């Protein structure tokens, strides 16, 4: 698997994080994950975890659509915006990750985020900077 297959998108207006199936496959198809923000290094980690982890998100493989898992978390989006105040609140970003071998973890460098176009609600308008 290439690192280019390890990807997430951040949809700031909708407070959504989309994790691509290929990213989840890279960390051995977890049933639960945890997302960790490191403000000093400006990184976001995504790691396989146990269901008992306090901040665990369950991955429901049966209902996953569009080749990705979608998480809603206003508090996580706020944490990312605190780390990256230069990000535009009206659009989204794509991040390519690196697999940490033997850790069932991928790491995303927020400084390398790529601006993406997203659809804004029912009117279907597209927004970028």
Q: By residue range, what is the domain housing residue 34?
A: 3-119
pTM equals 0.86
**Which 3 state secondary structure label does DSSP give 70?**
strand
**60: pLDDT strictly greater than 90:** no
For 25-42, write each residue's pLDDT tens digit.
Answer: 999 999 999 999 999 999
Residue 30, classified by CB atoms within 10 Å of its CB into exposed (0-12), middle (13-18) or buried (19+), is: buried
In a domain, 107, yes or no: yes
Which helix (DSSP H) or strand (DSSP E) does residue 26 occupy? helix 21-26
Count of structural domains, the chain: 1
CATH number at residue 11: 3.40.1550
């Amino acid at each position: 698997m290439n690192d280019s297959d390890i990807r997430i998108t951040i949809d700031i207006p909708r407070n959504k994080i989309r994790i691509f199936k290929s990213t989840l496959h890279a960390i051995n198809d977890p049933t639960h994950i945890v997302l960790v923000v490191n403000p000093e290094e400006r990184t976001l980690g995504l790691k396989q975890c146990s269901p008992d982890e306090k901040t665990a998100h369950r991955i429901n493989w049966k209902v996953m659509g569009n080749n990705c898992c979608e998480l809603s978390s206003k508090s996580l989006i706020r944490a990312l915006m605190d780390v990256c105040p230069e990000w535009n609140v009206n659009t989204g970003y794509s991040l390519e990750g690196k697999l940490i071998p033997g850790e069932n973890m991928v790491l995303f460098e927020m400084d390398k985020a790529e601006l993406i176009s997203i659809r804004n609600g029912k009117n279907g308008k597209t927004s970028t900077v």
